[in-house]
Structure 1
Amino acid sequence: MLSERNARKTGAAGEGKAAAYLQENGYAIIERNWRARSGEIDIIAKQGEALVFAEVKTLPSGGLETAAQELSLRKRQRIIETAKHFLCANRQYNGDYIRFDVLLVDIPEFAPVYHIKNAFSELA
Structure 2
Amino acid sequence: MRGARDGRRKQGEHAEEAAARYLARKGLHVIGRNFHCRGGELDIIARDGQTLVFVEVRYRGTSSYENPMESVTPRKQQRLIRAANFYLQRHQLWQYPCRFDVIAIEPGRLRRYRAHWIKNAFDAST
Query: TM (normalized to structure 1)?
Result: 0.89
Kindly tell me: are residues 54 and 62 of structure 1, through their superposed partners in 2, closer, same or farther at Cα, counting changes over 3 Å?
A: farther
- What SS is found at the alignment partner of 1:103? strand
> What residue identity is the alignment partner of 2:20?
A
Q: Answer with 46-55 or 58-67: which moved more.
A: 58-67
Kindly tell me: are residues 113 and 119 of structure 1, through their superposed partners in 2, closer, same or farther at Cα, counting changes over 3 Å?
A: same
Q: Tell me what 1:73 maps to.
A: 74
Q: Tell me what 1:101 maps to.
A: 101
Q: Answer with 99-108 or 1-10: which moved more.
A: 99-108
1:58 aligned onto 2:59: yes
Identity of aligned residues (%): 35
Give unmatched runs, 5+ long, in structure 2: none
How far has the Cα of 1:107 moved from its partner? 6.2
Q: CA RMSD in A?
A: 1.9
Q: Tell me what 1:119 maps to.
A: 121
| Residue deviations 1:21-66 (CA, integer Å, cap 9, x gap) | 1111111111100011111000000010110000000112454526
Kindly tell me: are residues 117 and 66 of structure 1, through their superposed partners in 2, closer, same or farther at Cα, counting changes over 3 Å?
A: closer
Contact 1:105 1:113 in 2 (8 A): yes
Query: TM (normalized to structure 2)?
Result: 0.88
> What residue identity is the alignment partner of 1:115?
W
In 1: Cα distance, 2:65 partner to 2:40 partner: 23
- What SS is found at the alignment partner of 1:17? helix
Kindly tell me: are residues 28 and 36 of structure 1, through their superposed partners in 2, closer, same or farther at Cα, counting changes over 3 Å?
A: same
Count residues with an aligned counterpart.
Answer: 122
In 2: Cα distance, 1:86 partner to 1:23 partner: 21
> What residue identity is the alignment partner of 1:104?
A
Q: Which portions of structure 1, spanning 4 or more consecutive aligned residues, are displaced by more than 4 angstroms?
A: none
Contact 2:30 2:46 in 1 (8 A): yes
- What SS is found at the alignment partner of 1:119? strand
